[in-house]
Structure 1
Amino acid sequence: MALTQQLARVTLEYLGLCRETALSAVDGDPHWDPPDGDTLDLDWAIWELLTFYRCMRPGDRSISVIERSIEGDTRDEIGFLDHLSVYDGFGDPPALVTPTAVAEVADELAMLDIEPLLRTLPEYRTAGGFAGSSGDPHTYLVEHFAQLRNFYETAAARGLAVVVWTD
């Protein structure tokens, strides 16, 4: 099974309900089930974008912005989501980006321009980047970055938190 980057837009109230459910359940199951329209599967695209940045533009400010968008800020507040019904236990448990932080991330993502990086694709591929990719990595990265940006923009506009995890 392939690992993919997952995100969910949720209210703090929903997280509170999941916390209460987990605390009262014998097995700790939070009954995590965010609406399909508020979830996003980024496949491995953003991880590859980060690898690409680190190789071609180490130290670029974009790296920390993108990392924050998929790594979150804290796990403490949502430790109850560290459950097999939420994620398979590979890697770190889910992390939270609070509504205030979501607005910050959305603003930072809106300011990023990945096109200058994408112009280095031929050099990156020559160096072995995207070795297993059979499609057009430019299109793949642009589409998934746009999805990430739009996801955060919508979450910020709606005042929602974002939960991130690998599954």
Structure 2
Amino acid sequence: MALTQRLARVSPQYLDWCRDAAAAALDGDPHWDPPEEDTLDLDWAVWELLAFYRRMQPDSRHISILERSIAGDVNDPVAFLDHPEFYDGFDGPPSLLAPGAVAEVAHSLAAMKIDSLLRVLPAYREAGGFSAFHGDPGAYLAGHFALLQNFYGIASQQGLAVVVWVD
């Protein structure tokens, strides 16, 4: 089973509905089912991008931005989503970025440029990075990073929250 980073854009009202559904259900099922166009599967790209930054540019402020984009905010949990119908319990429970935090992350991601990092990709590969990757890891990372930027940009424009989890 491959693990992937997942995100979902949802309204606060939808989260309230799921919370109420979980509270009313005997088994606590939140009936989580956001529209497919409001979900994103980042595969393992953002984890490799973080590892790449940590190894090649360990003082980069981009590390904390990327971490927050996939870890959520600990102070705003969505405990009612910690249910086997939604989340398998392999990693930490789902976490939330409220609309205000989404706007902050979206702004920070939009300002990020990973081109300078990608230029050191050959040195990273020589040091053992992407050892099992076939193809162009630069295109893979750039493509998934663009998806992440776009996802948060839309969420911010629409005033949505983002739920993050590993599946």
Q: Same fold per TM (> 0.5)?
A: yes
Q: Which amino acid aligns with 2:120?
A: T
Any stretches of 5+ residues in structure 2 without a counterpart? Answer: none
**Structure 2 Cα separation of the partners of residues 93 and 166 of structure 1:** 8
C-alpha contact (below 8 Å) 2:76/2:98 kept by paired residues: no
- Counterparts in 2 of 1:1-167, with a 5 A limit? 1-74=1-74, 76-167=76-167
Alignment identity in percent?
A: 62
Measured on the aligned residues, the alpha-carbon RMSD in Å equals 0.8
> Could you tell me the TM-score, scaled by structure 2's length?
0.98
Structure 1 residues 75 and 34, CA gap change in structure 2 (3 angstroms): farther
Deviation at 1:76, TM superposition (A): 4.7
> Could you tell me the TM-score, scaled by structure 1's length?
0.98
**Structure 2 Cα separation of the partners of residues 30 and 108 of structure 1:** 31
Residue-pair matches, total: 167
Q: Which amino acid aligns with 1:144?
A: H
Q: Which amino acid aligns with 1:64?
A: S
Deviation at 1:86, TM superposition (A): 1.2
Per-residue CA deviations over 1:23-81 (Å, capped at 9, x if unaligned) read 11111100000000000000000000000000001021000000000000136541000
State the 4+ residue runs in structure 1 displaced beyond 6 angstroms: none
Aligned with 1:2: secondary structure?
A: coil
Any stretches of 5+ residues in structure 1 without a counterpart? Answer: none
Q: Which amino acid aligns with 2:116?
A: P
